[in-house]
Amino acid sequence: MTEDRHYRLPRVLKDEDDSNPSNQSAGATFQEIAALRFSRRAALKGLLATSALTAMGTALAPARQAQASTADSSLKFTEVPHAYDEKFHVAEGYDAQILLRWGDKVLSDAPAFTPGKLTAEGQAKQFGYNCDFISYMPLPAGSNNSGNGLLFVNHEYTNPHMMFPGFADATAAAEGTTAATTAIELEAHGATIVEVRKEGDAWQVVDGSKYNRRLTLNTEMEISGPAAGHDRLKTSADPSGKKVLGMINNCGGGWTPWGTVLTAEENFHQYFGGDPSGTAEAVNYKRYGLKGEPSYPWGKFVDRFDVTKEVNEPNRFGWIVEVNPYDPNQPAVKRTALGRFKHEAATTVVNPDGRLVVYTGDDERFEYVYKYVSNGTFDPAAGVANSALLDDGTLYVAKFGADGSVEWLPMVQGQGELTAANGFSSQADILIETRRAADLLGATKMDRPEDVEADPKGGKVYVLLTKNDKRKGDQVDPANARAENLWGHIIELTPPSMDGKADHAAAKFAWDTFIQAGNPKDAAQDAKYGGEVSESGWFANPDNVAFDPKGRMWIATDGFPDFGVHDGVWAADIDGAGRAITKHFLGVPRGGELCGPAFTPDGQTFFVAVQHPGEEDESSFDSPTTRWPDFAEGVPPRPSVVAIVKRGGGEIGS
């Protein structure tokens, strides 16, 4: 999800937050370190001989290939030109099938979608709004079936001025919010699970499948881990502190090796009204951006969204939530051991020693990158009982060194500054106030850490940093790093070796820059790719990535419209002659964002989510700038999931 842009609701509050980022700690920014790193590249070979990296058994990323170009890429599709219009564009020879639209039937008794006549009861049975993360889970569980499976899809947030008629813009919609529209929006959040099947070359939702269901802000969920039952999670509705209604602003995610989905709660702060400054959680809430100026005025109608009425309710959001898509009777669980912040992604890796590692980023300017390492080990025969690994382990935050190393700092109560004297009387306090704990440890401030993904073949880890236009010039070495980073970049982390495999649980990694996004023809942008990219091959604002079965990276963007270009997908090899040379595969309709990219195991279907099409200053339900995907009078733009296949069959990109 984008942190800001030309957006209205719910971006208005975000723009204000970005003027005064909530991270006011004195820790070094990533750009300050990157400036030193780039400026010392000429000396790095000598450094490697004496630094900790030698002991780690790692090496820096290969040098740029100045003569390499798109001709060296293993990706053989014809690129889509940069554009900005009302349509969806995909490379020649591929078909884009609209699989699920906002308001489509999920449960068999759902009403037909009728624009302007929504009900909360109907929305609870229909596909929700602003689809984001997608996970394809084969049927049967544990198989590699690429023609029949489950789709798990997040619904991040709502745009009421695009959902309901009569509002000229987001401000008018906020002012006109009612109890009835609030009830609909609560049901439009959460997630959808549907069974899908490929018939010939076409995908379809299996109507009436026993797996089809919705999770919304009214779905009861459990809370587990060190913070479960803590006083700071208790409310009048839940004096146990172990139950919560729903999940909110679910953006990125991941999946576990035992067949469950991990979905990440992100910008929870913008839903809570009431002045938090006079509450016992004032310091905590300020660090997360709660100001009593919510983008959603739901607190007028639902007490739990007013901190003066339920002071602890915000502490029950901002977690990683585990969902079993194969078992509708198993409750979703918020796993508190993974920390509370504005999560993007939850990427799992089984380490060579059997421990589970989970990577996640905190999606805001000057925030941090985290990993979690379980104490126990994964047992393939134990099935969902492995979920206990998510409750017992250590959370770490990253500190990037100028010598090319990454130090993972343990976030453990009683160690270093994480003591009762600093307000951390228990591990639960650290997990509830993860940001403040990371501040005290001196973690490295990053440029909006969004997706953090591990290459399933080579073991390297990629951190997508979308942008940071608030970074000042005196924070960096201007010869090597970028002030006012409008374009974003991708960092490559290299874990050390354990028996010939990547040791993701190690205390130190190596790092280097994989791509520094932007237009390479504009010297002021200081863009860096693996070689020459085409006119449409450059991109800005990386957000999420997916890896195809060949190990190639597919990059989704969020914010490129600021440069007059649609958001979409750019793909690149991560090694070989085509390393870091990006090609443009698809573009979304104007105002939209490309989310969720996910492949079937055979690489022959590429699922993507188009979020908030038509979300622009001049756009509304009554007068949208696009009517994609229906293009019917009176029908507003509808966030949708798209299934992309190669015409005639075959792997995507080959």
Average pLDDT over every residue of 563-587? 97
| pLDDT band for position 36 (cuts 50, 70, 90) | low
Top-level class of domain 11-646: mainly beta
If we measure between CA atoms, which residue out of 39, 32, 33 comes closest to residue 480?
39
- The predicted pLDDT at position 49 comes to 33
| pLDDT band for position 19 (cuts 50, 70, 90) | very low
DSSP per residue, 457-515: TT--EEEEE--BTT--GGGS-TTTS-SSBSS-EEEEEE--EETTEE-TT-SEEEEEEEE
- The predicted pLDDT at position 475 comes to 54
Alpha-carbon distances, residue 544 vs 272, 360, 453, 457, 634 (angstroms): 27, 12, 9, 18, 33
Give the model confidence (pLDDT) of 57-66 as tens digits.
333 343 444 5
Q: Count of alpha carbons within 13 Å of 243, Cβ hemisphere only?
A: 9
| pLDDT band for position 24 (cuts 50, 70, 90) | confident
Between CA 332 and CA 425 the distance in angstroms is: 28
Q: Does 412 score more than 80 pLDDT? A: yes
- The predicted pLDDT at position 645 comes to 98
Interacting residues of 361 by C-beta distance below 8 A, sequence separation 6+: 343, 344, 345, 367, 368, 369, 370, 446, 449, 450, 451, 452, 463, 464
Beta bridge partners of 360: 370
Give the model confidence (pLDDT) of 68-104 as tens digits.
899 999 999 999 999 999 999 999 999 999 999 999 9
- The predicted pLDDT at position 48 comes to 34
Q: Does 449 score more than 80 pLDDT? A: yes
> 268 and 248 in contact (C-beta within 8 Å)?
yes
- The predicted pLDDT at position 402 comes to 85
Cα-flanking dihedrals φ and ψ of residue 104, to 5°? -65, 155
- The predicted pLDDT at position 68 comes to 87
Q: Does 476 score more than 80 pLDDT? A: no
Between CA 496 and CA 494 the distance in angstroms is: 7
Q: Does 17 score more than 60 pLDDT? A: no
Q: Does 338 score more than 90 pLDDT? A: yes
- The structure tokens listed for 436 are 């403040």
Cα-flanking dihedrals φ and ψ of residue 83, to 5°? -155, 175
- The predicted pLDDT at position 20 comes to 53
Residue ranges of domains in the chain:
11-646
Average pLDDT over every residue of 318-342? 98
The fraction of the chain above a pLDDT of 70, given in percent, is 89
Tokens 């990158």 found at = 369
Give the model confidence (pLDDT) of 228-273 as tens digits.
999 999 999 999 999 999 999 999 999 999 999 999 999 999 999 9
- Among the residue ranges 44-53, 137-146, 339-348, 510-519, the one predicted with the least confidence is 44-53
Q: Does 1 score more than 90 pLDDT? A: no
Burial 47-83 (b: 16+ CB within 10 A, else e): bbeebbbeebebebbeeebeebbbebbbbebebbebe
Q: Does 388 score more than 90 pLDDT? A: yes
Q: Does 479 score more than 50 pLDDT? A: no
- The predicted pLDDT at position 64 comes to 47
**Is the C-alpha dihedral spanning 526, 528, 534, 540 positive or negative?**
negative
Strand pairing report for 333-335 and 220-224:
parallel
| pLDDT band for position 505 (cuts 50, 70, 90) | very high
Q: Does 118 score more than 50 pLDDT? A: yes
Average pLDDT over every residue of 585-613? 98
- The structure tokens listed for 42 are 């000429």
- The structure tokens listed for 194 are 């549907």
If we measure between CA atoms, which residue out of 342, 371, 345 comes closest to residue 358?
371
Between CA 87 and CA 101 the distance in angstroms is: 15
Q: Does 209 score more than 80 pLDDT? A: yes
- The predicted pLDDT at position 160 comes to 98
Mean pLDDT computed over every residue of the chain: 91
| pLDDT band for position 28 (cuts 50, 70, 90) | low
Please give the order of strands across the beta sheet that includes 220-224.
Answer: 243-245, 220-224, 333-335, 320-323, 261-265, 250-255
Give the model confidence (pLDDT) of 523-545 as tens digits.
999 999 999 999 999 999 999 99
